[in-house]
Amino acid sequence: MTTWSTKIHSKCRGEIYPRSDQKRLIVPIDKVKWSVSWPDYNPPTYTSKSLNGQPWADLEISEQFSPTFNEVERKEYVVRNRVSYMGDYQVANGYPLNPVGRTGLKGRGVLGRWGPNHAADFILTRWLRDQANGQKILNEDTKKPILQFVGIQRRKGDEWAIPGGMVDAGEDPTHAAQREFLEEAMDSENLEQKELEDIMKLVKEMFDQGLMIYQGYVDDSRNTDNAWIETTAINCHAEFQEVDHWHLKAGSDAKNVAWIEITSSLNLFASHIDLIEAVANRHQAHW
């Protein structure tokens, strides 16, 4: 798949920062890389007030608060992973720099952490089958079998996406991927204890056969020059019909959930289309 070390971000160079009226400085594509000289580059700074007082959010950088960048920081019994999957990032005047380049905005926007904000995504796939005989359905043009994945429609922004979310402090990304899938695609927060345990067991069994297909930068519209999202994406594939009886129900940050046919023309949140392409390639499916 295309990796973000070779691709330039675009969704985080839009004119207006999401959920705000904050304008970004427009960064032309040839000026994205920090290595390209731009002596007058001085974008506005924006950090949402919604971060104030949140236990998961960093403070403003100051003499009293100076994170240890490029390391797993252990302070006051809290683990904060400030390591990037993209390798060591630069730190300029005490502020971490987005590893892909300029975004036209300083500060953290709505992201809690300075530097990498780690997320996890769970891509559950199955084959599209003929209801009558159970045979895989092939695409007419490519003659390849068609995959489906479980997608959710996000409450914020309405876009369709892979179920996923932020990794909690000290949490393993693989645990976060399962937790987010359960919350967003199976409404686990509203299940009775027994039902929850049964579903967690099923999801874990499926997850144990999963494969990590990507770990790195996400082109997310919330990224800034000093804070960005990186994800661990896991694909769990049901080769037969073992997930067909799963009861999908949107919960938490999701307002809809559905099995979605995989094609290259899907329009998805952030750079999730790249993760879906990697999954289609993995299974030699129609794209």
The residue within the footprint of ligand RP5, chosen from 165, 210, 216, 251 (CB under 6 A), is 165
Q: How far is the CB of 136 from ligand RP5 (least distance, A)?
A: 28
**Is residue 227 part of the contact set for ligand RP5 (CB under 6 A)?**
no
Q: How far is the CB of 199 from ligand RP5 (least distance, A)?
A: 20
**Considering CB under 6 A, how many residues would be counted as binding ligand RP5?**
13
As beta bridge partners, residue 252 has: none
Helix, coil or strand: residue 283: coil
Q: Using CA atoms, how far apart are residues 34 and 31, in angstroms rounded to an integer?
A: 8
Burial 220-240 (b: 16+ CB within 10 A, else e): bbbbbbbbbbbbbbbbbbbee
* Segment interacting with ligand RP5, rule: CB under 6 A, options 45-53, 66-74, 156-164, 277-285: 156-164
**Is residue 270 part of the contact set for ligand RP5 (CB under 6 A)?**
yes
- The DSSP call for residue 262 is -
Q: Using CA atoms, how far apart are residues 201 and 250, in angstroms rounded to an integer?
A: 19
Cα Rg, the chain, nearest whole Å? 20
Q: How far is the CB of 273 from ligand RP5 (least distance, A)?
A: 11
Residue 146 or 257 with smaller CB distance to ligand RP5: 257
**Is residue 277 part of the contact set for ligand RP5 (CB under 6 A)?**
no
* Segment interacting with ligand RP5, rule: CB under 6 A, options 54-62, 64-72, 82-90, 159-167: 159-167
Helix, coil or strand: residue 241: coil
Compose the 236-265 pattern: x for residues touching ligand RP5 by CB under 6 A, - for all others.
-----------------x------------
Q: Using CA atoms, how far apart are residues 171 and 175, in angstroms rounded to an integer?
A: 7
Helix, coil or strand: residue 181: helix
Length of the chain: 287
Reported as half-sphere exposure (CB side, CA atoms, 13 A), residue 182 has a value of 22
- The DSSP call for residue 211 is E
Q: How far is the CB of 183 from ligand RP5 (least distance, A)?
A: 10
Residue found under tokens 């030699």: 284
Q: Of 107, 250, 271, 123, which is closest to residue 187 (Cα–Cα)?
A: 250
**Is residue 218 part of the contact set for ligand RP5 (CB under 6 A)?**
yes
Per-residue tokens: 182: 């359960």
- The DSSP call for residue 89 is P
Q: Which residue is nearest to ligand RP5 (CB)?
A: 164
CB neighbours (10 Å) of residue 91? 15
Q: How far is the CB of 143 from ligand RP5 (least distance, A)?
A: 32
Residue 144 or 249 with smaller CB distance to ligand RP5: 249
Q: Using CA atoms, how far apart are residues 123 and 179, in angstroms rounded to an integer?
A: 13
Q: How far is the CB of 89 from ligand RP5 (least distance, A)?
A: 17
**Is residue 231 part of the contact set for ligand RP5 (CB under 6 A)?**
yes
Compose the 110-139 pattern: x for residues touching ligand RP5 by CB under 6 A, - for all others.
---------x-x------------------
The residue within the footprint of ligand RP5, chosen from 104, 115, 164, 216 (CB under 6 A), is 164
Enumerate binding residues for ligand RP5 (CB under 6 A).
119, 121, 161-162, 164-166, 218, 220, 229, 231, 253, 270
